[in-house]
Amino acid sequence: MKDLINPGSCKCGLWEILFASFLVLMLMMGCTKQEFIDLPGGDVAGSIVFKDIDYSNYQYPGISYRIKAQSDTITYWTSADKNGKFNFSELPSGGYNVTLMDNDIEVMSIKHCSFLGGAQPSELSFWYRIQPDIKSIDYHFEIVKDTLWVIGKVELDGIPPVESNKIMLYISFPPDNSQYFYDVIPFDWKTNQIKHMLFKINSLKSGDYFNSYIYKKYKDFGATFSNYVIKEDHSRNQYDKFSSSFKTASDSTSIYTFIIP
């Protein structure tokens, strides 16, 4: 009986059992580690753009804004460069409130952005649509043949961040003075002089009048966050977008009446 037992084979079998057990243990540890891995992250590429009242883009004025992405547990910060570009690198996926900051002042914010992460950077854009603030506007109308011109001058209230030379003026026509229309009026940036052709007056006759311009301080802010989403077939992509915007405006001058001569 003893001759049938090979001690060497028993020793080798025990080693194989120990090695197999070690492999199983390592696999179990690997599975456990995989279960607790963090959610995927990714980059968010962003930009800040200045526009005038006609939506024309202006060169970024080099303002050093800071941008924060705040989740329930932690806040991430980044800064815009001299061209208005910024980037959140390796941002964990999750829900964020994203805010543009001018020093310690909140300029605008998008609430409840669901950042999905991934290899393709998501996009975040902030934009200003602005006109210069003015203290006063002194102007009159002139009729050349059948065309109405506005001639005058503006006095700026401070220095705007970009050299935008356009303001939005509102006008109403009697008898329904509650309905306003607007014209975008350019002025010379160096002299502040206004000389702008308005419209043909073929439909108006001598003695007709309209209520002339109202100037309003005006700023329009906007922001958009776009996730880059890869579909399951990996052949197409789409963007999930979150956006918000608000406007501020206040009357600065009053109406006066112009009578067609």
Residue 145 sits in the same domain as residue 255: yes
Residue 103 sits in the same domain as residue 144: no
pTM over the 0.75 mark? no
Q: Which comes out higher in pLDDT, residue 30 or 260?
A: 260
Mean local confidence (pLDDT), 248-253: 50
Q: Out of 74, 99, 129, pick the residue that ends a domain.
A: 129
pLDDT tens for residues 91-123? Answer: 998 899 999 998 888 888 888 888 888 778 889
Residue 96 sits in the same domain as residue 119: yes
Residue from 227, 241, 224, 228 nearest 109 by CA: 224
For the ranges 64-78, 140-154, 170-184, 215-229, the one whose mean pLDDT is highest: 64-78
pLDDT tens for residues 49-91? Answer: 998 888 888 888 888 899 999 999 999 999 999 999 999 999 9
Residue 176 sits in the same domain as residue 255: yes
* pLDDT in the model for residue 87: 96
Q: Give the CATH number, domain containing residue 92.
A: 2.60.40.1120
Q: Both tokens of residue 202?
A: 């073929």
Q: Is residue 225 part of a domain?
A: no
Q: Is residue 76 part of a domain?
A: yes
Q: 15: domain range?
A: 2-35
Alpha helices (H) along 85-221: none
| Whether residue 225 has pLDDT greater than 60 | yes
Q: Is residue 28 part of a domain?
A: yes
Q: Is residue 245 part of a domain?
A: no
Residue 23 sits in the same domain as residue 101: no
Q: Is residue 214 part of a domain?
A: yes
* pLDDT in the model for residue 148: 84
